[in-house]
Amino acid sequence: MPRTIHFVSLGCAKNRVDTEIMLGVGDAAGFRVVEDPSEAEVIVVNTCGFIGPAKEESVDTILEMSRYKDEGSCERLVVAGCLAQRYVSQLAGDMPEVDHFLGSSDMLRLGEILADRGERLMVGNPADYTIRATDPRRLTQLGHSAYVKIAEGCNRTCSFCAIPSIRGKQRSRPVDDLAREVEWLVAQGVVEANLVSQDTVAYGRDLAERPTLAQLVRALADVRGLRWLRLHYLYPEALTAELLEVLGGHANVLPYVDMPLQHASDSMLRRMRRGHGGRRIYDVVERLRSALPGLVFRTTFIVGHPGESEEDFAELCRLVEWAEFDHVGVFLYSHEEGTHAGEMTDLVPAKTARSRQRKLMQLQRGISRRRAKSRIGTELDVLVDGPSEESEILLDGRWWGQAPEVDGKVILANGTARPGELRRARVTAAADYDLVADLLTPEGLLDVPDCR
């Protein structure tokens, strides 16, 4: 019988890709993946070490999984990812129950552990590895949607961020390697590719050929069988006319922009080391909306950063009211050692930061509700994800303005469809973030199953 392995993946979409690489390594080593950790002989926890809450979740998960060394079949507990990269010495001393540590770029070395050749500490230099299309990979999402990591690391120096010290400098992947990966994904049944990296708009600047993000997107959009291509994590700097043309001029390149703006106040953006002022934020939003009719704009903000005043927060609220973004995430500042902000002393009280987070999310909830309700009566192309969590007689899907796992869903109340199908649907109701819709036939009629 093949040996068994269980994976826990924490953190961002980029970490998800790393976990899928390790799943591929496990497959190549002949291990069978099990959903129940009590049945696993090897347990792998791929951790996040970005901010305080993520670190706490990672530590709690490691301790929870360690129980299966006594209560289950676990013979080896492996801790991988950013937390191990950042704190390997401390973790190795505090957690004797962990048998192996892998860093943020050591996914392939899981094979050594599974072949009984691994050392306890296997945390290398993150700059030594960049994912390749030839690396083994097993998809964990819906089967028809996948993340594509176009680069590793980051060259920015944002005050609050420890990613460059964890993941290293930016390392972009060649266009032809990424095209091969997307071709492979489509061959596996993927119709939706979501491009991710730490700083997507900087793609290619570190390569000798200096390919642009627009050139990459154009090449990937030409892969036959790919229906939706979406960009995540664009830095708010000057966007080229070439990139805007690609976003608005290709049928399968979605006019969806995920751009973490972080703040709106000039003083806060300076303290955050974002390289621009609040006026540029307004200019970027206006330019995108003008160039891309029907644009769906997703962004994130940080509240409670050292030095944030009530006036700074009020300016942030004014931006959100003015821009009426489609999707907004609001994160509490996390005071991280090794970052520039981690040396600042003018901290915002935690209670104040939490209050600001609630206020901003309440403001955005009303905007999201209005925008969702404005779609009632319209028809949308919906990617069917599968049976609904709400009821077995319903289906869940997403229209192109909803990225997987972060932007809500479309609940399909009638008809039949297979996961991965793109179907036309008419919106009949809306909540704060989700839509309810009826599937339509190709003729535009209500899709009613034939019960004869």
pLDDT, tens digit, for every residue of 167-196? Answer: 989 999 999 999 999 999 999 999 999 999
Residue 131 lies in a domain: no
Sign of CA dihedral 228, 183, 215, 154: positive
Q: Based on the fold, state whether residues 393 and 340 are members of the same structural domain.
A: no
Q: Based on the fold, state whether residues 41 and 121 are members of the same structural domain.
A: yes
Residue 409 in this model has a pLDDT that exceeds 50:
yes
Count of beta carbons in the 10 Å neighbourhood of residue 83: 30
Secondary structure class of 38 (helix, strand, coil): helix
Q: What is the pLDDT of residues 225-277, one digit of tens each?
A: 999 999 999 998 778 899 999 998 888 999 999 999 999 999 999 999 998 88
The half-sphere exposure of 58 on its side-chain side, counting CA atoms within 13 A, is 29
Q: Based on the fold, state whether residues 261 and 393 are members of the same structural domain.
A: no
| Domains of the chain: total | 3
Q: Based on the fold, state whether residues 314 and 205 are members of the same structural domain.
A: yes
Residue 165 in this model has a pLDDT that exceeds 90:
no
Q: Based on the fold, state whether residues 224 and 288 are members of the same structural domain.
A: yes
Triad 38, 42, 47: Cα angle to 5°: 95
Where is average pLDDT lowest: 143-147, 185-189, 307-311, 446-450? 446-450
- Tell me the residue range of the domain where 333 lies: 145-372
Q: Based on the fold, state whether residues 416 and 435 are members of the same structural domain.
A: yes
- Please report, for residues 133, 190, 308, 337, the alpha-carbon distance to residue 352 in angstroms, rounded to integers and kept in the order given: 46, 44, 10, 22
H helix intervals, 189-329: 213-221, 241-249, 266-271, 278-291, 310-323
Last residue of a domain, one of 372, 403, 428: 372
Residue 452 in this model has a pLDDT that exceeds 90:
no
Token readout for 249 is: 């001029």
Backbone angles phi, psi at 327, to 5 degrees: -140, 135
Last residue of a domain, one of 372, 389, 419: 372
Q: Based on the fold, state whether residues 272 and 252 are members of the same structural domain.
A: yes
Please give the mean pLDDT across all residues of the chain: 92
Q: Based on the fold, state whether residues 333 and 359 are members of the same structural domain.
A: yes
Last residue of a domain, one of 372, 387, 419: 372
pTM (whole model) above 0.85: yes
Sequence-distant contacts of 50-56: CB under 8 A, at least 24 apart: 50/11, 50/12, 50/82, 50/161, 50/162, 50/163, 50/166, 50/334, 51/331, 51/334, 51/336, 52/334, 52/335, 52/336, 53/332, 53/334, 54/10, 54/11, 55/83
Q: What is the pLDDT of residues 59-77, one digit of tens each?
A: 999 999 999 998 888 999 9
